[in-house]
């Protein structure tokens, strides 16, 4: 009976594998299980009638074979096989069973947790609470204008530290509901984090990577969080966001789109509305321009008769020194020597004018105005004064029937969301970790002291709010839009996916809007941390064990820093990295200490020189040992130079080929440069060998370095280099880097790199 059951299971699963592989090209994978377990209504079965008939016939044959095997094993007249033959038969059957690709796929899916009743998600902490929906107010819903003042904290209203700095907002505060003890807690201290805290009641734990503002590569921003936009949209609000900077910066556009804003506009969308499109700062629109657009938008939205929310973010007070709008021409704070205080003084005037224009509107009766910091100021030209006492965020609310008083209850920006909803007419005790400051219930900063430790301890649960896309259903490479498609989600590249043991994405790492390059981010990983890195081939290929010739610009490497057999895939447009490839690349992942050490060294080279192609040259020549040469084979490969590390001086090179003279105690000097790509000067002037002879007494060594492309057609270098001791220059083709080092009395050193890449020669003293 056992033999018959094993035979049936093995043969039927082989048939299932063949059918699945025919349909998916990937054996039995998540997609097949999903469709089997989902409603198959609407499936085009008519297109597979032949396959269905063949499958039924195969199943019948498998049943017949299994029944015959059972009868033979039970028959009294069965042939006598002997123990040896029976053992061999069972061993062969067991081996075929274990090597069955269908069973291997099913085991892999089980290991990944696909068949688990629920995903392994941590339960929400008891302090986290969101309303299922808002109860409709008894009166007509109020509109809301929410004004984020970039880095303008309440501290600037302190007359002892900043006398007369913000007289206009101080005047408005006398007719406002003002909250005086709004603190800054863990992971809420930059713009997008402040927005997330005030609208969703959660800190922006950095699961994207170490760079605070590097979220522009994601398509959905905290889709698992419930935020003001989600709740107000469900109540019929028309929600608009206006910001002077790019929507892609820090993922602000994705945040507002994910959370149900109807219209989201940044620099690209608003700049054409300016009378002078060139009137912008390094960050985007000046605040006077933004306020003009917002005033008109408020008028339009008010006239529509629908409840609306208008959210704005200013820019002029961005650290470290701010940017003054023309609307404040001639305005200065004090003696005018502190630029950030001048910008804050200007922001006070413009914000007050905007607020007064709304208050004077006939639509103000049903409008709530919230004026708030996005976060505490970052280090700026008034830092010492800011740090001389307690610091708090700004939060004041103006509107008809809004109480005029100060609320001293301790809170944080996490509490702004439920407090705002309450003032809009939707009583909301809690939103996320935030609590209504108008109610009696304690806030997080008083009930969970220290709040920062409590919030950081929730990082595992907070990561689930990102609902990262899964790589286990395959990754499709879209070159036109420079993004990776995973089912219905997409992610911009370059990107590193960090995977857990079940190969679920636990973190994304980008370098958009982030000063930390991906190689440097990779350097901090554990040796066995599994990842998928999608980037230019010449940035990732060093992680593979075999060298390849590229047919494409981008590659994906799957593995870890210590894995000896990382998989390297060249990516073509619309190519899919299948789930099978993902799982196979991580099979039998093992740690190798020497491999890890070597790759850490390569990461250091990448961080320092921008390329993994660093050739260490052991030399006893003191002059050569003091110089580093870099040759870039293309504009995107960076600069070419020769650097004297002892003096710290560098000679930067232009396109073509350069001859440099080297001395240990002085700067490298360019003796001759020829733009050989353009053909200029190639047939004029002296041969490099003649020049080295003429300067033999002036320099101790010589270097020949190519930059960008030394050869743009056939030849071009013979006139310069034929008589020199160098020979590998004959291998130079379009955009290939080259370095040659010449030391009297010693064989020359030469190295030719890969096209479109950079090459570094790093001399080290020989022992």
Summarize pLDDT for 13-44 with one digit per residue, the tens: 777 777 766 544 456 644 344 334 333 333 33
For residue 87, what pLDDT is reported? 63
98 falls in which pLDDT band (50, 70, 90)?
A: low
Summarize pLDDT for 498-539 with one digit per residue, the tens: 998 888 888 888 887 666 788 888 888 889 899 999 998 888
Distances (CA, A) of 613 to 495, 511, 604, 633, 757: 21, 21, 12, 12, 8
Lowest pLDDT segment from 197-211, 387-401, 747-761? 197-211
Q: Is 217 left (phi over 0), alpha (psi -120 to 50) or beta?
A: alpha
77 falls in which pLDDT band (50, 70, 90)?
A: low
DSSP letter (8 states) at residue 630:
E
For residue 468, what pLDDT is reported? 83
Q: CA 717, CA 303: separation in Å to the nearest integer?
A: 73
Q: CA 210, CA 632: separation in Å to the nearest integer?
A: 29
Q: CA 247, CA 463: separation in Å to the nearest integer?
A: 23
Q: CA 348, CA 339: separation in Å to the nearest integer?
A: 14
Rounded mean pLDDT, 56-74: 74
Q: Is 733 left (phi over 0), alpha (psi -120 to 50) or beta?
A: beta
User: Higher pLDDT residue, 605 or 294?
Assistant: 294
Lowest pLDDT segment from 366-375, 575-584, 719-728? 575-584
Summarize pLDDT for 317-334 with one digit per residue, the tens: 999 999 999 999 999 999
User: Higher pLDDT residue, 77 or 517?
Assistant: 517
The SS3 of residue 572 is: coil
Domain range summary for the chain, segments of one domain joined by +: 143-464, 470-608, 613-765
**Which of 200, 174, 176, 168 is CA-nearest to residue 187?**
200
Summarize pLDDT for 391-412 with one digit per residue, the tens: 999 999 999 999 999 999 999 9
DSSP letter (8 states) at residue 126:
T
List all residues 6 or more positions away from 144 whose beta carbon is below 8 Å from its beta carbon: 232, 308, 309, 310, 367, 368, 369, 370, 420, 424
DSSP H helix total and E strand total for the chain: 24, 31
For residue 685, what pLDDT is reported? 60
Burial class of residue 382 (count of CB atoms within 10 Å of its CB; 0-12, 13-18, 19+) = buried
The SS3 of residue 595 is: helix
Q: Within 10 A of 146 (CB to CB), how many other CB atoms are there?
A: 22
Q: Is the dihedral of CA 196, 201, 202, 203 positive or negative?
A: positive
Q: Is the dihedral of CA 353, 358, 362, 366 positive or negative?
A: negative
**Taking all residues of the chain, what is their mean pLDDT, rounded to a whole number?**
86
The SS3 of residue 305 is: coil
Residue 119 has pLDDT above 80, yes or no: no
User: Higher pLDDT residue, 246 or 212?
Assistant: 246
Q: Which secondary-structure segment (H or E) carries 752?
A: strand 749-752
Identify whether the C-beta of residue 701 lies closer than 8 Å to the C-beta of residue 743: yes
List all residues 6 or more positions away from 318 whose beta carbon is below 8 Å from its beta carbon: 150, 151, 283
Residue 194 has pLDDT above 50, yes or no: yes
CATH for 143-464, among 3.40.720.10, 3.90.1640.30, 3.40.50.300, 3.10.20.30? Answer: 3.40.720.10
For residue 430, what pLDDT is reported? 97
For residue 43, what pLDDT is reported? 36
449 falls in which pLDDT band (50, 70, 90)?
A: confident
Residue 240 has pLDDT above 70, yes or no: yes
DSSP letter (8 states) at residue 112:
T
Do the bridges between strand 738-742 and strand 489-492 make them parallel or antiparallel, or are there none, so unpaired? unpaired
Residue 209 has pLDDT above 80, yes or no: no
Summarize pLDDT for 259-316 with one digit per residue, the tens: 999 999 999 999 999 999 999 999 999 999 999 999 999 999 999 999 999 999 999 9
For residue 215, what pLDDT is reported? 64
Torsion of CA 630, 633, 635, 641, to 10 degrees: 20
Q: CA 412, CA 188: separation in Å to the nearest integer?
A: 9
9 falls in which pLDDT band (50, 70, 90)?
A: confident
120 falls in which pLDDT band (50, 70, 90)?
A: very low
Q: CA 186, CA 179: separation in Å to the nearest integer?
A: 20
User: Higher pLDDT residue, 473 or 378?
Assistant: 378
List all residues 6 or more positions away from 209 whose beta carbon is below 8 Å from its beta carbon: 496, 507, 508, 509, 510, 514, 516, 521
Per cent of the chain over pLDDT 70 is 84
Identify whether the C-beta of residue 614 lies closer than 8 Å to the C-beta of residue 606: no
Rounded mean pLDDT, 619-639: 92
For residue 72, what pLDDT is reported? 65
Residue 114 has pLDDT above 90, yes or no: no
Q: Within 10 A of 154 (CB to CB), how many other CB atoms are there?
A: 24
Contacts 24+ apart (CB under 8 A), 662-670: 662/623, 662/624, 662/627, 662/699, 662/700, 662/701, 662/702, 662/703, 663/623, 663/699, 663/700, 664/622, 664/623, 664/626, 664/700, 668/627, 668/642, 668/643, 668/644, 668/703, 669/699
User: Higher pLDDT residue, 89 or 750?
Assistant: 750
List all residues 6 or more positions away from 536 whose beta carbon is below 8 Å from its beta carbon: 494, 553, 554, 555
For residue 34, what pLDDT is reported? 31
Residue 105 has pLDDT above 50, yes or no: yes
pTM (two decimals):
0.69
Count of CA atoms in the C-beta half-sphere (13 A) of 334: 15
For residue 210, what pLDDT is reported? 43
Specify which residues 359 forms β-bridges with: none
Identify whether the C-beta of residue 756 lies closer than 8 Å to the C-beta of residue 634: yes
Per cent of the chain over pLDDT 90 is 58
**Which of 502, 482, 500, 480 is CA-nearest to residue 490?**
482
117 falls in which pLDDT band (50, 70, 90)?
A: very low
């Amino acid at each position: 009976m056992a033999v018959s059951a094993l035979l049936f299971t093995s043969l039927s699963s082989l048939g299932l594998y063949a059918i699945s592989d025919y349909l998916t090209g990937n054996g039995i994978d998540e997609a097949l299980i999903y469709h089997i377990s989902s409603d198959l209504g609407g499936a085009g079965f008519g297109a597979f009638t032949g396959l269905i008939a063949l499958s039924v016939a195969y199943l019948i044959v498998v049943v017949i074979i299994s029944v015959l095997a059972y009868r033979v094993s039970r028959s009294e007249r069965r042939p006598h096989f002997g123990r040896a033959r029976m053992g061999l038969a069972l061993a062969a059957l067991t081996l075929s069973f274990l090597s069955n690709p269908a069973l291997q796929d099913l085991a892999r899916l089980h290991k990944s947790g696909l068949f688990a009743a629920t995903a392994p998600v941590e339960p929400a902490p008891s302090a986290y609470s969101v309303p299922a929906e808002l109860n409709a107010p008894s009166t007509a819903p109020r509109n809301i204008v929410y004004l984020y003042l970039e880095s303008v904290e309440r501290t600037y209203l302190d007359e002892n530290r900043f006398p007369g700095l913000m007289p206009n907002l101080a005047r408005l505060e006398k007719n406002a509901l003002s909250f005086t003890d709004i603190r800054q807690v863990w992971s809420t201290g930059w713009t997008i984090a402040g927005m997330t805290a005030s609208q969703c009641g959660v800190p922006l734990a950095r699961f994207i990577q170490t760079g605070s503002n590097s979220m522009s590569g994601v398509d959905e921003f905290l889709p698992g969080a419930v935020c003001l936009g989600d709740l107000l949209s469900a109540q019929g609000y028309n929600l608009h966001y206006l910001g002077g900077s790019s929507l892609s910066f820090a993922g602000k556009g994705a945040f507002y789109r994910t959370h149900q804003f109807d219209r989201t506009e940044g620099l690209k969308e608003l700049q054409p509305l300016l009378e002078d499109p060139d009137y912008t700062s390094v960050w985007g629109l000046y605040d006077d321009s933004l306020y003009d657009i917002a005033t008109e938008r408020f008028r339009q939205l008010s006239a529509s008769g629908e409840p609306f929310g208008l959210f704005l973010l200013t820019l002029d007070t961005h650290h470290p020194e701010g940017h003054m709008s023309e609307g404040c021409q001639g305005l200065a704070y004090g003696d005018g020597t502190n630029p950030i205080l001048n910008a804050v003084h200007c922001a006070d005037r413009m914000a007050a004018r905007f607020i007064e224009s709304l208050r004077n509107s006939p639509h103000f009766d049903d409008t709530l105005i919230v004026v708030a910091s996005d976060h505490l100021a970052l280090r700026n030209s008034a830092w010492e004064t800011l740090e001389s006492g307690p610091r708090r965020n700004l939060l004041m609310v103006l509107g008809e029937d809004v109480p005029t008083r100060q609320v001293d209850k301790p809170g944080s920006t996490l509490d702004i969301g439920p407090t705002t909803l309450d003032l809009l007419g939707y009583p909301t005790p809690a939103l996320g970790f935030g609590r209504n400051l108008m109610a009696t219930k304690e806030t997080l900063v008083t009930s969970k002291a220290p709040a920062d430790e409590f919030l950081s301890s929730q990082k595992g649960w907070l990561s689930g709010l990102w609902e990262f896309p899964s790589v286990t259903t395959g990754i499709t490479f879209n070159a036109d839009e420079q993004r990776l498609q995973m089912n219905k989600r997409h992610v911009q590249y370059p990107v590193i996916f960090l995977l857990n043991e079940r190969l679920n994405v636990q973190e994304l790492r980008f370098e958009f809007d982030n000063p930390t390059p991906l190689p440097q981010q990779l350097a901090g990983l554990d040796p066995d941390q599994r990842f998928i890195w999608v980037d230019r081939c010449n940035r990732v290929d060093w992680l593979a064990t075999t060298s390849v010739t590229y047919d494409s610009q981008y590659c994906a490497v799957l593995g870890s820093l210590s894995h000896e057999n990382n998989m390297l895939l060249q990516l073509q447009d619309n190519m899919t990295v299948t789930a099978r490839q993902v799982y196979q690349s991580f099979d039998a992942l093992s740690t190798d200490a020497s491999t890890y050490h070597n790759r850490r060294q390569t990461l250091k080279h990448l961080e320092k020189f921008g390329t993994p192609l660093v050739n260490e040259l052991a030399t006893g020549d003191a002059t050569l040992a003091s110089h580093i040469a870099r040759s870039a084979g293309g504009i995107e490969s960076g600069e070419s130079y020769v650097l004297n590390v002892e003096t710290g001086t560098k000679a930067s090179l232009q396109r073509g080929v350069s001859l440099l003279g080297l001395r240990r105690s002085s700067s490298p000097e360019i003796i001759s440069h020829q733009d050989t790509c353009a053909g200029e000067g190639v047939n004029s002037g002296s041969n490099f060998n003649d020049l080295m002879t003429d300067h033999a007494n002036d320099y101790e060594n010589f270097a020949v370095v190519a930059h960008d492309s030394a050869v743009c057609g056939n030849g071009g270098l013979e006139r310069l280099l034929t008589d020199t001791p160098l020979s590998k220059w004959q291998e130079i083709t379009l955009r290939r880097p080259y370095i040659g080092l010449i030391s009297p009395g010693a064989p020359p050193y030469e190295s030719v790199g890969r096209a479109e890449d950079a090459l570094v020669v790093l001399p080290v003293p020989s022992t």
